A and B are shown apart, each in its own frame.
Chain A
């Protein structure tokens, strides 16, 4: 056992000396390799963390949302629908939701104005609870600076700030302006007894499908969105986005694959001669293959470690700064959020096998071919 270890160590030492001889080329290979792994690992870690956040946080969303559709478009829903649905057995509570968008002509941001479902959370008249991004995009000079919203030129509505929502919940609340019902209706000049949509809470989750079916029969024009559908939308959205990011990295991955295949499979004349000399001085085929395995293993494992550690730092210490512009798109408001750090062992293993093994395998075939040939022929 000791002699085997000593032998492997000697092989590793020889491999490192050989790698050091082509220092610039091999350092370049290691860095590009690490960069490719960094991009793929960042996308994976980021999407997984976002998916988890959406799953936990949106588990508290209303069980069913009822939207009124008029001419195929979302429209206000009359309040008397509430009384109609209230009779259905299994419905724990039913509340009209009031929410709408407000485009701020000052800075081009879109805010979401909303009346909290829980009356205890509603701010007093003339006051608003605002999300984390509002002070930032409106450059509010002091903590209790009032918020002025202008619906039309010359119009100015003032709201005093009751509370600023913490950045802990930025991912769900960054653009929110919470008002009480009277202020909300006055701001949007909304008639009494209409709502944006209706939120249902259902006692037994197993009854959701039956209740949805009953409501569907009662309100054939309505669109019903269940909490499961909301969750599915987000799971799919992040998988898709992760795929898009990996696809964007695809060009560089492809370039790397060509580069690695060229480097690993096409032996240079110098390398072939080196193998010939090694065989001539008494190395056997197994030694040569072991030496090349060491080379592939050291380079790919080093790149894997470097890429993965950097990806972890990028996503969880620097808030995935490189992806922010992709996700932000054209929006003015982008939440200042931190994700819950997490490493998925299965994903990490998959990444390891997808990056380290193919490179090592690619080095073996040509080496085996050169190593089994006659030294005299190889050196010629």
Chain B
């Protein structure tokens, strides 16, 4: 029975570590929330719109404001030039959602 004791002990220790990790996540919630609130205050004061995670090119620094088609700007079949641009998905709604209208009156309707 020694072997089961050791292995079950190890599994219990693993489960306890996972529980500790989740406890750690819970304990750090309050200070982390305060940190994120400070970041959010900075976003509001400066008027930021994007995360500074990918600074390699203009459209990767500000993906929310970049042209939708920048991912294909070099040539229709070319691969994206910047590595992080490769990971940018195409817009969810697809390109173009408008309708054709003739004249300003119809457009206003």
With A118-B44, A175-B52 already in contact, 11 other A-B pairs whose C-beta atoms are closer than 8 Å: A17-B3, A97-B47, A114-B46, A117-B46, A121-B46, A168-B35, A230-B64, A335-B52, A340-B35, A342-B25, A343-B22
Decide yes or no whether A74 CB sits under 8 A from chain B: yes
Decide yes or no whether A130 CB sits under 8 A from chain B: no
Picked from B11, B39, B52, B67, the residue with its CB within 8 Å of the CB of A305 is: B11
> Within the assembled complex, what's the spacing in Å between the Cα atoms of A258 and B39?
46
Q: In the complex the two chains form, is A305's CB within 8 Å of B1's CB?
A: no
The B interface is mostly helix, strand or loop, or mixed, namely helix
In the assembled complex, the CB of A199 is this many whole angstroms from the nearest CB of chain B, namely 5
Q: In the complex the two chains form, is A16's CB within 8 Å of B61's CB?
A: no
Q: In the complex the two chains form, is B64's CB within 8 Å of A234's CB?
A: yes
Decide yes or no whether B83 CB sits under 8 A from chain A: yes
A–B Cβ pairs within 8 angstroms, 11 of them: A9-B1, A62-B49, A97-B47, A110-B61, A118-B44, A118-B45, A168-B35, A172-B42, A174-B55, A176-B46, A244-B87
Known contacts A12-B4, A13-B4, A237-B63: does B43 contact A230 (CB below 8 Å)?
Answer: no
Decide yes or no whether A187 CB sits under 8 A from chain B: no
Decide yes or no whether A286 CB sits under 8 A from chain B: no
The A interface is mostly helix, strand or loop, or mixed, namely helix
* Residues in A neighbouring B43, C-beta threshold 8 A: 57-58, 60-61, 172
> Within the assembled complex, what's the spacing in Å between the Cα atoms of A58 and B42?
10
Decide yes or no whether A112 CB sits under 8 A from chain B: yes
* Residues in B neighbouring A237, C-beta threshold 8 A: 63, 87-89
Q: In the complex the two chains form, is B55's CB within 8 Å of A109's CB?
A: yes
Decide yes or no whether A341 CB sits under 8 A from chain B: yes
> Within the assembled complex, what's the spacing in Å between the Cα atoms of A327 and B56?
10
Decide yes or no whether B77 CB sits under 8 A from chain A: no
* Residues in A neighbouring B87, C-beta threshold 8 A: 237, 240-241, 244
In the assembled complex, the CB of A22 is this many whole angstroms from the nearest CB of chain B, namely 15
* Residues in B neighbouring A17, C-beta threshold 8 A: 3
Q: How large is the interface on B (under 10, 10 to 19, 20 to 34, 35 or more residues)?
A: 35 or more
> Within the assembled complex, what's the spacing in Å between the Cα atoms of A361 and B67?
48
Q: Kindly supply a per-residue 1/0 record for chain B positions 61-88, scoring 1 wherever the CB is within 8 Å of any chain A CB and 0 otherwise.
A: 1011101000000000000001110011
> Within the assembled complex, what's the spacing in Å between the Cα atoms of A233 and B24?
30
> Within the assembled complex, what's the spacing in Å between the Cα atoms of A166 and B41?
13
> Within the assembled complex, what's the spacing in Å between the Cα atoms of A187 and B31?
39
Q: Which of chain A's residues 134-192 have a Cβ closer than 8 Å to chain B?
A: 165-166, 168-176, 178
Q: Kindly supply a per-residue 1/0 record for chain B positions 23-34, scoring 1 wherever the CB is within 8 Å of any chain A CB and 0 otherwise.
A: 011001100110
Decide yes or no whether A53 CB sits under 8 A from chain B: yes
Decide yes or no whether A65 CB sits under 8 A from chain B: yes
> Within the assembled complex, what's the spacing in Å between the Cα atoms of A117 and B21?
40
Q: In the complex the two chains form, is A178's CB within 8 Å of B46's CB?
A: yes
* Residues in A neighbouring B49, C-beta threshold 8 A: 58, 61-62, 65, 225, 230
Picked from B25, B46, B50, the residue with its CB within 8 Å of the CB of A341 is: B25
Considering only CB atoms, which chain A residue lies closest to B24 in the complex? Answer: A341
Decide yes or no whether A202 CB sits under 8 A from chain B: no
Considering only CB atoms, which chain B residue lies closest to A301 in the complex? Answer: B11
A-B contact count (CB 8 A): 202
Q: In the complex the two chains form, is A112's CB within 8 Å of B14's CB?
A: no
Decide yes or no whether A23 CB sits under 8 A from chain B: no
Q: How large is the interface on A (under 10, 10 to 19, 20 to 34, 35 or more residues)?
A: 35 or more
Q: In the complex the two chains form, is A110's CB within 8 Å of B56's CB?
A: yes
Decide yes or no whether A302 CB sits under 8 A from chain B: yes
* Residues in B neighbouring A72, C-beta threshold 8 A: 67
Known contacts A116-B46, A309-B14: does B40 contact A56 (CB below 8 Å)?
Answer: yes
Picked from A16, A57, A199, A298, the residue with its CB within 8 Å of the CB of B39 is: A57
List 6 A-B pairs, minimum CB-CB distance, nearest first: A305-B14, A117-B47, A329-B83, A331-B56, A340-B32, A60-B44
Decide yes or no whether A261 CB sits under 8 A from chain B: no
Q: In the complex the two chains form, is A305's CB within 8 Å of B55's CB?
A: no
> Within the assembled complex, what's the spacing in Å between the Cα atoms of A61 and B63?
14
In the assembled complex, the CB of A252 is this many whole angstroms from the nearest CB of chain B, namely 19
> Within the assembled complex, what's the spacing in Å between the Cα atoms of A165 and B39?
10
Considering only CB atoms, which chain A residue lies closest to B69 in the complex? Answer: A72
Known contacts A330-B82, A335-B53, A340-B28: does B42 contact A173 (CB below 8 Å)?
Answer: yes
Q: In the complex the two chains form, is A217's CB within 8 Å of B36's CB?
A: no
Considering only CB atoms, which chain A residue lies closest to B8 in the complex? Answer: A12
